[in-house]
Amino acid sequence: MARAGSLQRRLNEREKEMEADERDRQKEREELEDIRKKLLEDGHPDPEAEMERVNYANLFIIILGASLVAAFLTITTHFSIMWSVCLL
């Protein structure tokens, strides 16, 4: 019986996460549409290309951030191993 309750609780939590994710995606779509409208109002010659450029820049930042985190974890792992060997 406890398993069923635990499973149901996890399912409920997952459903709430999915709803929150959808709200976040909707908010992001609305923000992007606002930016697109602002570019049009300002007379930007190619708002779609500008939006694409911004999206690529954001993707680059995300990838760079993930790479830096991976490098940091690798360095700290190696340091931890070296420290363990020194203590032997």
CB atoms within 10 A of CB 43: 7
The gap from C-alpha 86 to its chain's centroid, in whole angstroms, comes to 38
d(CA 56, CA 64): 12
Query: Residue 64: what pLDDT?
Result: 82
The residue ranking higher by pLDDT, 31 or 12, is 12
* Percentage of the chain exceeding pLDDT 70: 89
Q: Residue 2 is encoded by which pair of tokens?
A: 């406890």
Collapsed DSSP state (helix, strand, coil) of residue 30: helix
Query: Residue 62: what pLDDT?
Result: 79
